[in-house]
Amino acid sequence: MRRPIVYLIGTGPGDPSLITVRGLRCLMAADLVLHDRRVDPRLLRYARPDAERIAIQAVAPHTTEHDAICLLMVEKVREGKVVARLSVDDFFLSESSGPEALFLNSEKVAFEVVPGVPAALAGPAYAGVPVRYPGAGDTIVIMGERDPVAEHTAWSHLAGLGGTFICHAGAERLTEVAQLLLSYGRDPSEPAALVFNGTLPHQQTFEGTLEQIRRRLEKSNGSDKGTLIVGHVVRFREHLQWFDARPLFGKRIVVTRPKDQASELVDLLEDLGAEAIEAPTIRIVPPDDLRPLDEACATASSFDWIVFTSVNGVDNFMRRLLAGPSDVRALKGVRLCAIGPATAERLQRHGIKVDLIPQEYRTEGVVAALRESGDLAGRRILLARADIGREVLADELRKSGAQVTEVVAYRNVPVESQEDEPDIYRMLLDKQIDVVTFTSASTVRNFVRILGVEQAADLLQSTAVACIGPVTAEAAELFNIRTTILPEQYTVPGLVSAIVRHFTGAAASG
């Protein structure tokens, strides 16, 4: 039985993958998720679909707004609910966190504090700066947003400690801190670094002397938060720089795949340093009429071949097969063909091995491979495909004498732009996008439908377009969209490798 409780969770410095395992487990258990607006929206995907979500602004403690937040948590727990209160950074580094925990305690409400990775330590780590190193001083001073002591004696002590000094705060506060360090005797030529947007794909790191960093801070936007690092450890960035040295660092890449299928592409891009912007143009839904698919599943054993041309075809066919009286044993004796390794891998998840994967991962390759496998005359072949799939495969197989049954396994449905999604039109217009990726002809067609035919062609003239294969590239060409990046292997990893080659090759030639 679940215990009603409030989990006070620090989500870390910005990168959603830096939440702790414990924090993620508590988030997934919550009935109500109260989250700062600064918390990355991608974290909210781990909440239960039926969980209530409330976004809140950062407010000062003991105000009416803050009291309302505290009372809401108490009320929900007394209703028997589990509450996840999400805060960026480490929870207890927030000004309002201590009062919230004390209020819960005074109301005899169970709570648990789940620490988060502090930005003051993550920023240096992602910039390639070790906060401690033998010979670089034994002292580490970490200062936050507010100045705890502004007396002359205190600052003279702080400036004279040596070692590593770190401050995570707004640019205005960092400017003040840098000036105070210099005013009270810190060496103006001491190595220093400044990290903005630490751990995020648009992280910026500046190096120089303390005096140079102070001058840069004076020109910064005072509202920007950053991390100031002062000390000899900054010199190690030259050797330990890793985060912003990745091949796609700083690149903004649009992913048009359906949201529930975008994770592989998004993860691969982000692991290589890119900022993946999810802008799904389609979603995958079952057929309007399930009877033809159910009949095909019920008679699956009567076919000589079943051909799957996509992961979606596998998922929806197997879902209906297992929903009926049969199971995977119905496929015994039936030969299976998958258009590529990703489709084959999806079948393997169901404990099924494929008999044939064509060397070329497109319709024409499937036809050639099936013909090479033996005489197709009289062979019964089932094609589980999309509602708008190409007719080429079925037509060519029939020309070889095969008896082809086509069944719609899924439909591609256009996705309308949502208010909370990125404005891709504006970002393309402002030339803030480096690559737009398309993984199917459907994603191309619906991308064009959303932006407009002429507008899409015009906006993509100055942006790299990456298509997963020739069929997708042909669909783009119909709308006067030129494909810049085409992989040798028509898979998601192949697409990402081609994007990397595009930029690393450009950098080398430049």
| 3-state SS string for 470-500 | HHHHHHHHCCCCCCCECCCCCCHHHHHHHHH
**What's the whole-number mean pLDDT along residues 238-262?**
94
pLDDT of residue 508: 42
Closest to 266 measured CA to CA, from 247, 279, 284 = 279
Residue 381 contacts residue 405 (beta carbons within 8 Å): yes
**What's the whole-number mean pLDDT along residues 187-208?**
95
What domains are defined for the chain? 5-117 (3.40.1010.10), 120-243 (3.30.950.10), 252-281+416-509 (3.40.50.10090), 286-413 (3.40.50.10090)
Checking if the pLDDT of 152 tops 70, the result is: no
pLDDT of residue 415: 81
pLDDT of residue 340: 84
From the CB of residue 71, how many other CB atoms can be counted at a distance below 10 Å? 12
The span from the CA of 193 to the CA of 212, in Å, is 10
Residue given tokens 């024409």 in the structure block: 364
Checking if the pLDDT of 385 tops 50, the result is: yes
Residue 210 contacts residue 162 (beta carbons within 8 Å): no
Checking if the pLDDT of 458 tops 90, the result is: yes
In DSSP terms, 277 is beta-bridged to 254
Give Dmax (Cα) for the chain: 94
pLDDT of residue 148: 47
Checking if the pLDDT of 509 tops 60, the result is: no
Beta strands in 359-402 (DSSP E): 380-386
pLDDT digits (tens, 9 = 90+) for 348-384: 998 899 999 988 777 778 888 899 888 999 999 999 9
pLDDT higher at 394 or 82: 82
The span from the CA of 329 to the CA of 310, in Å, is 22
Per-residue pLDDT band at 421 (split at 50, 70, 90): confident
The span from the CA of 174 to the CA of 134, in Å, is 27
Residue 117 contacts residue 13 (beta carbons within 8 Å): yes
Residue 193 contacts residue 233 (beta carbons within 8 Å): no
pLDDT higher at 412 or 436: 436
pLDDT digits (tens, 9 = 90+) for 286-306: 999 999 999 999 999 999 999
pLDDT of residue 500: 97
pLDDT digits (tens, 9 = 90+) for 203-235: 999 999 999 999 999 888 766 789 999 999 999
CA angle 480–483–484, rounded 5-degree value: 135
